[in-house]
Amino acid sequence: MTVGLFIPCYIDQFYPNAAIATLKLLQKLGVKVSYPLQQTCCGQPMANSGFEHLTTGCNELFIDNFAAFDYIVSPSGSCVLHIKDHLHSDGQAEKANSVRKKVYELTEFLTDILKVEKLTARFPYKVGMHQSCHGQRGLMMSQMTELVAPPFSKPRQLLNMVKDLELVELSRPDECCGFGGTFCVAEEAVSVKMGKDRVADHLNHGAQYITAADMSCLMHMEGILRRQNSQVKVLHIAEILNAEEV
């Protein structure tokens, strides 16, 4: 099995530790992972802003970088959803189609493909898990509170394998944090208010860390936590799942 590591642009530039943890975690689980060096961005920021017609360059680049792998894995549900839903190519339609079918968010890859049942990680803290909308509702990584259906959660299933980690329950388990791509600046007031409320739910329940399977939500919440001089930190789920036993 060959796995191509897709590291979204903002993780590459701002959160390399989340990417390093993703890589190491996959390697630890015996997966042969390669990181194609010419990758940039999935094109979502443009597409969600209504400029999907400007994503041709990104699409072609993505296909060139990743078409050869058996699986494509990324630590960002939102970017994965964009590829799954919107990647297209006039010249390489078949390749685009196959890429869309084999792209996975990290935690769903771990639970659904690798079928991981135990991890060696230890993280002795109270952790709040933010359910990122695109992963949850788009990729169906966990059950949604709006639907009448039995609960499940792929990220939670994995966090439960981490020794000494205590997950805190939230008052609103799956409300959006308000990042929303360019929404965060175009609708600054509402975005910030949503972020403040989201962070408060975690703080009110005693979280020492906030984690998610999507770094973009965490970047937004981190910006708010820092402005509030909070000691609470954000950590990508890969960093917790990869945390060494002390």
Partner 1 sequence: MIKGNKDHAALADIFNQDEARVDWHDETLWFVRAKRDKAANTLSEWEALRENASQIKDNVLSNLHDYLSEFESNAQQNGVIVHWAADAAEHNQIVLSILKSKEISRMVKSKSMLTEECHLNEYLHQNGVEVIDTDLGERIVQLAEEPPSHIVLPCIHKKKEEIGELFHEHLGTPKGASDPQLLTAAARVHLREKFLTRRAAITGVNFAIAETGEFVVCTNEGNADMGAHLSEVHIACMGIEKIIPKRANLSVFLRLLARSATGQPITTYSSHFRTPRKGQEMHLILVDNGRTQQLGRADFRNSLKCIRCGACMNTCPVYRRSGGHSYHTAIAGPIGAILAPNLNMKQYADLPFASTLCGSCTNVCPVKINIHEQLYKWRQVIVKEGYADPKKTIAMKAMEFTLSHPYIYRNAGKSGRWVMKNMPFLVNNKLNAWYTQRDMPAPPQQSFREWYKKNNNE
- Residues between 10 and 39 with contacts to partner 1, criterion CB under 8 A: 11-17, 19-20, 23, 34-35, 37-39
88 binds partner 1 (CB under 8 A): no
> Of the candidates 74, 125, 63, 120, which has an alpha carbon nearest to the alpha carbon of residue 96?
63
Binding mask 39-68 for partner 1 (x = CB under 8 A): xxx-x-xxxxxxxxxxxxxx-xx-------
190 binds partner 1 (CB under 8 A): yes
Q: How far is the CB of 136 from partner 1 (least distance, A)?
A: 8
The answer to whether the beta carbons of residues 184 and 191 sit under 8 Å apart is: yes
Among 147, 169, 231, 244, binds partner 1 (CB under 8 A): 147
Contact region for partner 1 (CB under 8 A) — 108-116, 120-128, 186-194, 203-211? 186-194
- 129 phi and psi angles, rounded to 5 deg: -105, 120
Angle at 86 between CA 188 and CA 5, to 5 degrees: 90
Among 29, 67, 144, 203, binds partner 1 (CB under 8 A): 144
Q: What share of the chain is helix, strand, coil (3-state, %, to 5)?
A: 50, 15, 40
Spatial distance between the Cα atoms of 64 and 161, rounded to a whole number of angstroms? 36
Pick the closer one to partner 1 by CB: 189 or 246: 189
R_g of the chain computed on alpha carbons? 17
Contact region for partner 1 (CB under 8 A) — 66-74, 99-107, 114-122, 132-140? 132-140
- Read off the DSSP letter of residue 52: G
> Which residues in the 154-183 window bind partner 1 by CB under 8 A?
172, 174-176, 178-183
